[in-house]
């Protein structure tokens, strides 16, 4: 019925027209299935009008898209004529009423599809062109009108062309989007984006779907307007299905498109509606590095929605992300760090916060993450607050980060208020390593002059430090408070020296130096040097 073999196009069109000329009046006399024939009559009249318009178009007989449509159309009209003759014979109809109803409905469906294809050809204007399988791409100097016509032609071929037409049209569309970013807005405006999205259907041909997902990913990456158009045409659901079930190259392109679509906060909510969170998480586990990177980027984007953050926690996303980020590529780690920082800023549950902070600490070993964390004032201030108010594990991780990061002097001054808490942590026996990381964090903050002055003005912290220096106090390794004294005296401040001496640090340091405690002699020398300088200065004045 759909064979393309037969007479030349003009003869085929003439035969269809002649059949319609006789068929339309004949349907008026049919009394059975009146409502069905009324619908068919409207469609046949519409078809006659369309064919008349086509015959008036230049080059219609050469158009490569139209020619394959004519033989199936002729077959449909012939079949309708046969049904018309049968319906004239009431006895014949009575013997197969249900079968006739089915045949009439099928004929009506075929006519609807074929009329739609012909109308599309007329609207696109491609019947004014000749036989090229795909029009030549307009040059850079071409007008917007020429580019718009080229795009309309491509989408016409995507809608009604065969497999080869679709493949060549998609190739041309991909080339256009790859080489000219500005063309994406014209494609979104002039093209039938819904048609492009329909090619993502998992039931379609693999080669077409692979090209279509690439075209969609290029389109959404080109700007806000194309991305909005693609989202509004319902692309997110099909893209997520491909990310779940497609080949790995298609999963990569689909995940890329999802990341760009969810970059707009107004679109992020839809991820949950389409069940996208577990799909993206699975891609994080089993996808290629490229797919993982885009999946993490999409999860980072959608985490701005409070409800989706809850879904992420319920689906167990955090352990998955942690494992992936610690062992992933620099690109994955960079995106993952941003995602974790957002979770860190928004999270209030201590257990979740600990998981996130541990992951951030693990990532801080990479150069990129180290630089990002070191330069983030918001992050530095927040971990300083955890040192002051968090549980012991959060305090331990936060102190480790303060100790290891290259924090600016300005940020060190901003978080100087946590020094008293760090002194208290230096006295903690548990967890293992707490005394050391607290001391190292405190040493980092004491590299700033204003923090050294602030420290000795805090009498409670100063007395705690001196008590830790006492040889009788065996709860604290002496090298840590000794190092803190040396750091306080690094600037040679007389005010700091007086405070330390008055608090009793000098005597304790003498005894520690006598027992060769690491760093004690150097700290004592700094304290003594300033003391001698002060005595000499006072003697000279006298």
Residue 3 pLDDT more than 50?
Answer: no
Region 69-87: what's the mean pLDDT? 90
DSSP summary character for residue 490: G
Average per-residue pLDDT for the chain: 84
Name residues whose C-beta falls within 8 Å of residue 286's C-beta, 6 or more positions apart in sequence.
none
For the beta carbon of residue 55, count every other beta carbon within 10 angstroms. 13
- CA-based torsion, 114, 115, 117, 121: positive or negative: positive
Per the listing, tokens 């885009």 go with 294
CB neighbour class for 191 (10 Å; exposed up to 12, middle 13-18, buried from 19): buried
Number of domains in the chain: 2
Q: What pLDDT is recorded for position 76?
A: 93
Q: What pLDDT is recorded for position 269?
A: 83
Rounded CA separation 92/174 (Å): 55
Residue 334 pLDDT more than 80?
Answer: no
Question: Would residue 63 count as lying in a domain?
Answer: yes
Question: Would residue 192 count as lying in a domain?
Answer: no
Rounded CA separation 284/294 (Å): 9
For the beta carbon of residue 4, count every other beta carbon within 10 angstroms. 12
Supply the range of the domain harboring residue 63.
9-90+107-123
Question: Would residue 490 count as lying in a domain?
Answer: yes
Nearest to residue 119, comparing CAs of 57, 204, 77, 27?
A: 57
SS3 track for 316-349: CHHHHHHHHHHHCCHHHHHHHHHHHHHHHHHCCC
Tell me how many degrees the CA angle 7-10-16 measures, rounded to the nearest 5. 80
SS3 track for 421-474: HHHHHCCCCCCCCHHHHHHHHHHHHCCCHHHHHHHHHCHHHHHHHHHHHCCCCC
Question: Would residue 233 count as lying in a domain?
Answer: no
pLDDT interval class at 443 (50, 70, 90): very high
pTM of the predicted model over 0.75:
no
Contact 26, 93 (CB under 8 A): no
> What are the C-alpha distances in Å from 56 to residues 47, 61, 66, 135, 237?
14, 11, 14, 22, 42
Express each pLDDT in 181-231 by its tens digit.
788 999 999 898 999 999 998 888 899 999 999 999 999 999 899 999 999
Q: What pLDDT is recorded for position 156?
A: 83
Q: What pLDDT is recorded for position 324?
A: 65
For the beta carbon of residue 102, count every other beta carbon within 10 angstroms. 11
Joined together, the tokens standing for residue 301 give: 């984007």
Region 512-540: what's the mean pLDDT? 67
Q: What pLDDT is recorded for position 415?
A: 95
pLDDT interval class at 325 (50, 70, 90): low
Which residue did the predictor score with more confidence, 411 or 29?
411
Q: Count H helices, E strands: the chain?
A: 32, 0
Joined together, the tokens standing for residue 450 give: 């204003």
Percent of the chain with pLDDT over 70: 87
Contact 20, 51 (CB under 8 A): yes
Name residues whose C-beta falls within 8 Å of residue 114's C-beta, 6 or more positions apart in sequence.
47, 69, 72, 73, 76
Express each pLDDT in 267-281 by its tens digit.
888 888 888 888 998
| Centroid of chain to Cα 133 | 36
DSSP 144-193: HHHHHHHHHHHHHHHHHS-HHHHHHHHHHHHHHHHH-TTHHHHHHHHS-H
Question: Would residue 229 count as lying in a domain?
Answer: no
CB neighbour class for 360 (10 Å; exposed up to 12, middle 13-18, buried from 19): buried
Determine if the peptide bond prior to 431 is cis (ω within 30°).
yes
Q: Report phi then psi at 273, rounded to 5.
A: -60, -35
Question: Would residue 243 count as lying in a domain?
Answer: no
Express each pLDDT in 284-309 by its tens digit.
888 888 898 898 888 878 877 777 77
For the beta carbon of residue 150, count every other beta carbon within 10 angstroms. 22
Rounded CA separation 277/268 (Å): 11
DSSP summary character for residue 29: T
Joined together, the tokens standing for residue 340 give: 């974790």
Question: Would residue 386 count as lying in a domain?
Answer: no
Question: Would residue 170 count as lying in a domain?
Answer: no
């Amino acid at each position: 019925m759909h064979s393309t073999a037969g007479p030349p196009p003009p003869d085929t069109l003439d035969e269809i027209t002649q059949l319609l000329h006789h068929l339309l009046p004949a349907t008026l006399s049919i009394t059975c299935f009146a409502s069905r024939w009324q619908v068919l009559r409207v469609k046949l009249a519409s078809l006659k009008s369309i064919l008349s318009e086509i015959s008036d178009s230049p080059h219609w007989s050469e158009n490569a898209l139209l020619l394959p449509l004519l033989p199936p159309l002729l077959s449909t009209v012939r079949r309708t004529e046969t049904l018309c003759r049968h319906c004239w014979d009431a006895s014949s109809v009575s013997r197969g009423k249900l079968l006739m109803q089915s045949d009439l409905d099928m004929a009506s469906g075929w006519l609807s599809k074929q009329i739609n294809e012909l109308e599309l050809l007329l609207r696109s204007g491609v019947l004014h062109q000749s036989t090229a399988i795909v029009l030549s791409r307009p040059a850079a100097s071409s007008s917007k009108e020429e580019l718009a016509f080229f795009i309309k032609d491509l989408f016409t071929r995507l809608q009604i062309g065969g497999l080869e037409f679709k493949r060549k049209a998609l190739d041309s569309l991909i080339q256009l989007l790859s080489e000219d970013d500005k063309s994406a807005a014209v494609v979104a405006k002039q093209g039938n984006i819904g048609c492009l999205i329909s090619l993502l259907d998992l039931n379609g041909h693999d080669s077409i779907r692979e090209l279509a997902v690439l075209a969609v990913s290029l389109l959404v990456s080109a700007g806000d307007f194309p991305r909005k158009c693609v989202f509004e045409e319902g692309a997110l659901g099909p893209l997520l299905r491909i990310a779940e079930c497609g080949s790995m190259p298609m999963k990569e392109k689909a995940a890329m498109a999802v990341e760009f679509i969810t970059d707009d906060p107004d679109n992020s909510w839809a991820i949950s509606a389409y069940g996208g969170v577990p799909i993206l998480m699975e891609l994080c586990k089993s996808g290629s590095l490229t797919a993982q990177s885009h999946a993490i980027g999409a999860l980072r984007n959608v985490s701005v929605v409070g409800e989706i953050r809850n879904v992420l926690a319920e689906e167990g996303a955090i352990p998955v992300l942690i494992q992936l980020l610690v062992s992933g590529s620099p690109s994955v780690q960079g995106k993952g760090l941003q995602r974790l920082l957002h979770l860190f800023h928004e999270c209030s549950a201590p257990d979740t916060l600990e998981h996130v902070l541990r992951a951030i600490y693990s990532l801080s070993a990479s150069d990129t993450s180290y630089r990002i964390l070191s330069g983030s004032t918001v992050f530095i201030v927040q971990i300083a607050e955890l040192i002051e108010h968090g549980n012991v594990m959060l305090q331990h991780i936060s102190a480790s980060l303060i100790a290891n990061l290259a924090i600016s002097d300005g940020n060190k001054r901003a978080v100087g208020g946590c020094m008293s808490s760090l002194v208290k942590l230096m006295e903690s026996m548990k967890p293992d390593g707490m005394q050391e990381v607290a001391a190292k964090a405190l040493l980092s903050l004491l590299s700033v002059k204003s923090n050294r002055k602030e420290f000795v003005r805090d009498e409670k912290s100063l007395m705690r430090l001196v008590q830790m220096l006492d040889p009788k106090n065996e709860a604290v390794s002496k090298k840590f408070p000794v190092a803190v004294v040396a750091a306080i005296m690094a600037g040679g401040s007389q005010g700091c020296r007086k405070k330390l001496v008055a608090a009793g640090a000098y005597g304790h340091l003498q005894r520690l130096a006598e027992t060769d405690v690491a760093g004690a002699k150097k700290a004592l020398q700094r304290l003594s040097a300033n003391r001698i300088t002060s005595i000499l200065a006072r003697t000279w004045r006298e």
